[in-house]
Amino acid sequence: MSHIESVLHENRSFPPSSEFTAQANVSGIAAYQALTTKAATDYEGYWADLARQHISWETPFTRILDETNAPFYRWFDDGYLNVSYNCIDRHLPAKADKTALIFEADDGLVTRISYQQLHDRVCAFANALIAQGVTKGDRVVIYMPMSAEAVIAMQACARIGAIHSVVFGGFSAKSLHERIVDAQAKLVITADAGMRGGRATSLKSAVDEALTLGGTECISRVIVYQRTGQEVNWHESRDLWWHDSVADMPNTCEPARMNAEDPLFILYTSGSTGTPKGVQHSSAGYLLGAIVTMNMVFDAKADTDVFWCTADVGWITGHTYVTYGPLAMGMTQVIFEGVPTYPDAGRFWKMIQDHRVTTFYTAPTAIRSLIKLGGELPRQYDLSSLRLLGSVGEPINPEAWMWYHQEVGQSRCPIVDTWWQTETGSNMIAPLPGAVATKPGSCTLPIPGIIADVVDEHGASLPFGQGGYLVITRPFPSLLRTLWNNPERYKKSYFPEELGGKVYLAGDSAQRDTDGYYWIMGRIDDVLNVSGHRLGTMEIESALVSHPLVAEAAIVGKPHDIKGEAIVAFVVLKGERPQGAAAKEISDTLRNWVGQEIGAIAKPDEIRFGDNLPKTRSGKIMRRLLRALAKGETITQDVSTLENPAILDQLK
Ligand code: WTA
């Protein structure tokens, strides 16, 4: 795998302070090693002990891991539980009045919800869902802004055993439609609009549009949470206000008895082919991953921490570290509706100060944009409550890491750089902050119980220092169970025959340094990581080609200071190649088109028009040349196999 090369040479190392180690849930490197040794010698026993210790079971399991139908693994599959019970009810005897959610709205208005209130509201909404005919196993699409109601909706689904499928509010009507149809959902929960950065963006109108498209007869009801009070179109026979739906509902609702392996949710994510994949997670295994990592990686202290994960619930990070993890721990957490730059780039730091946040988890792209807009701003706030920082979604560059460490963490707080994926459900490779020394830009070592490796294309383990495919060689509880409606694609995408059919292929390349620390190098498939969001190049290409003017399109990524990767589109129109003002105009049209087809996050940053694309004689688009062109590099590669070398000049 000679083409996988890393340019990183980072030698700084930050051992945990003795103060942090002294209070840590996993204290010292020996404790970390003891856990990994236990997992290595008694893998199933290790996970079973954790599952008994951390989950409240309605019926305890006696079976641990079933591999008979690999790679369709099953965990604890004669056990029964309810995830919502584990997140709410079990805390009530001791913590009914403890704050569960501190919701801060875009305009700064703060609402606090106690565990008892959360219980009552989740139950009332669960009863509302039941009243609308939702039963165990039904799919419910949630298309909501960041809000307490989004969390309540998800928890209510979990309570009655409905499978939620959250669609990020930034996705377009078309994307929403695609997901509703694939999941054959019964009901959509949405809001009139969301507020971000002082502006309202409507959501209900996108639902209306999605439901005019074919294949959505499955939807019998749309429940609408009123956030802004703006005007919405109303379909009497279909639409129902959230406040009306709960008006007469009792605030108790018996949690459904769920099998450990019953699906908790589906979450669509991008893969290397056109259609998004419905990643399906289990109930018990997923919950266990959330709890174990809250404990080990976030060093959770239920009674004293104020946890804040800035991710939207539309992404996996918002599922595991907003909706499920912190609540399962019985913690207080902050939920934020808005954006980090409104009213100014000090918003995050002000919120940390105001809510006395102890644990702050965000994405490198946010960190980079805040450095740019006000690197000195954190100093204007009292950040003394912080004790731990986290990073997720993409590799964090060492400069951003150092700034985060010094300016936000005041050189006091460990940084947990957490590598994981929608498919893995919870953190996989990340430092245990009281045990493992950190290095800027490395996600360090696998958490105990996660058996990772870096292998070549035949599945052979590679020595330290050599780049290859990142794999996880043993099934773990929070691993996805399948792709919704598509078990074949699940097998093909994640357990390829070339690697023996039983090893989980993550889709990232990585290398280990001489200390065995993992350094993630990037995706091995046609997936871009733009501001920490996964986007398939094929999805964007299909969107472009569906525009009547476009004959052909190729998408590549190019490095971007803040977003990590920017999207560059090479486009061939059916007519003449546009130039000057015409090119600008068509660019704008196409960017907006992609915005409508997929969502604003997928709009190309740059569009270049050509009479053709660089192709081999067999007609294959040479993407590596396009990548070089996008970066503005001079082409030094061999272009002799190119059908049309002259095109390169045009696309520069
Ligand atoms: C990337 C987000 C480097 C990686 C939780 C992975 C990271 C993809 C990190 C999953 C990290 C995530 N360091 N790269 N700490 N975390 N990635 O499914 O390429 O939205 O495969 O899950 O993000 O993105 P997803």
Token code pair at residue 69 = 């139908």
Q: What is the pLDDT of residue 514?
A: 94
Ligand 1 centre distance from Cα of residue 362 (Å): 12
Neighbours of 199 (CB within 10 A): 11
For residues 598 and 541, what is the distance between their CA atoms, to the nearest angstrom?
Answer: 11
Tokens of 546: 């569906």
Whether the Cβ atoms of residue 253 and residue 162 lie closer than 8 Å to each other = no
What is the SS3 assignment for 516?
coil
Nearest CA to ligand 1 atom 24: 421
Q: How many CB atoms lie within 10 A of CB 646?
A: 10
pLDDT at 100: 98
CA of 404 to the centre of ligand 1 (A): 19
pLDDT interval class at 643 (50, 70, 90): confident
426 close to ligand 1 (CB < 6 Angstrom): no
Q: Predicted ipTM? A: 0.99
Q: What is the average pLDDT value for the chain, to the nearest integer?
A: 95
pLDDT tens for each residue of 52-92:
999 999 999 999 999 999 999 999 999 999 999 999 999 99
Q: Using the predicted structure, report yes or no on whether residue 1 has a pLDDT greater than 80.
A: no
DSSP 258-285: EETTSEEEEEEE--SSSSPEEEEEESHH
Residue 199 annotated as part of some ligand binding site: yes
Domain 81-88+95-284+301-335 fold is Rossmann fold (3.40.50)
CB distance 208 to ligand 1 below 6 Å: no
Nearest CA among 360, 366, 356, 424 for reference residue 396: 366
Q: What is the pLDDT of residue 402?
A: 95
Write down how long the chain is.
Answer: 652
Q: How far apart are CA 334 and CA 370, in angstroms?
A: 19
Distance from Cα 166 to the centre of ligand 1, integer Å = 19
**According to the model, what pLDDT value does residue 9 have?**
58
- The residue ranges of every structural domain in the chain are 81-88+95-284+301-335, 531-651
Region 471-489: what's the mean pLDDT?
97
What's the CA gap between 642 and 622, in Å, rounded?
8
**CA quadruple 459, 465, 471, 476: dihedral, nearest 10:** 130
Q: So what's the pLDDT on residue 526? A: 83
Query: Which pLDDT does position 466 carry in this prediction?
Result: 93
Cβ–ligand 1 contact at 172 (below 6 Å): no
- How far is 109 from 95, CA to CA, in rounded Å? 24
Question: Nearest to residue 448, comparing CAs of 300, 293, 324?
Answer: 293
Distance CA 337, CA 347 (A): 12
Question: For position 525, what pLDDT does the model report?
Answer: 84
Determine whether the shortest distance from the Cβ of 296 to ligand 1 is under 6 A: no
- Average pLDDT (400-427) is 97
Q: Is 37 left (phi over 0), alpha (psi -120 to 50) or beta?
A: alpha
The response to whether residue 565 sits with its C-beta less than 6 Å from ligand 1 reads no
Q: Is residue 311 lining ligand 1, measured as CB closer than 6 Å?
A: no
Encoded amino acid at 318, one letter: G
- Percent of the chain exceeding pLDDT 90 equals 87
Choose among 471, 562, 464, 486: nearest CA to 524.
Answer: 471
DSSP characters over 206-249:
HHHHHTTSTT-TT--EEEEE-SS-------TTTEEEHHHHHTT-
pLDDT digits (tens, 9 = 90+) for 113-170: 999 999 999 999 999 999 999 999 999 999 999 999 999 999 999 999 999 999 999 9
Burial class (CB in 10 A: 0-12, 13-18, 19+), 28: middle
Distance 210 CA to ligand 1 centre (A): 29
| pLDDT band for position 274 (cuts 50, 70, 90) | low
Percent of the residues in the chain that have a pLDDT greater than 70, as a whole number = 98
User: What is the rounded distance in angstroms from the CA atom of residue 402 to the CA atom of residue 419?
Assistant: 18
pLDDT band, residue 624 (cuts 50/70/90): confident
Q: State yes or no: 508 annotated in a binding site.
A: yes
Dump pLDDT digits (tens) for 327-366. Answer: 999 999 999 999 999 999 999 999 999 999 999 999 999 9
523 lines ligand 1 (CB under 6 A): yes
Q: What is the pLDDT of residue 419?
A: 98
Q: Strands 199-202, 193-196: parallel, antiparallel or unpaired by DSSP? A: antiparallel
Q: Ligand 1: which atom is nearest the Cα of residue 315?
A: 20
Residue 472 Cβ contacting ligand 1 at under 6 Å: no
Buried b (16+ CB within 10 A) or exposed e, 351-371: bbbbbebbbbbbbbbbbbbbb
Is the domain spanning 531-651 CATH 3.30.300.30? The answer is yes
Q: Which letter does DSSP use for residue 381 in this model?
A: S
Pocket test for ligand 1, best of 529, 533, 565 (most atoms within 8 A of CB): 529
Q: What is the pLDDT of residue 644?
A: 80
**Tens of pLDDT along 171-197?**
999 999 999 999 999 999 999 999 999
Beta strands 239-241 and 415-418, pairing class: unpaired
Looking at per-residue pLDDT, the higher value among 460 and 615 belongs to 460
Looking at the predicted structure, is the pLDDT value of residue 7 above 70?
no
Residue 508 alpha carbon to ligand 1 centre in Å: 9
**Is residue 547 marked as binding?**
yes
- Indicate if the pLDDT at residue 303 is higher than 70: yes
**SS3 per residue for 68-102:** CCCCCCEECCCCEECHHHHHCHHHHHHHCCCEEEE
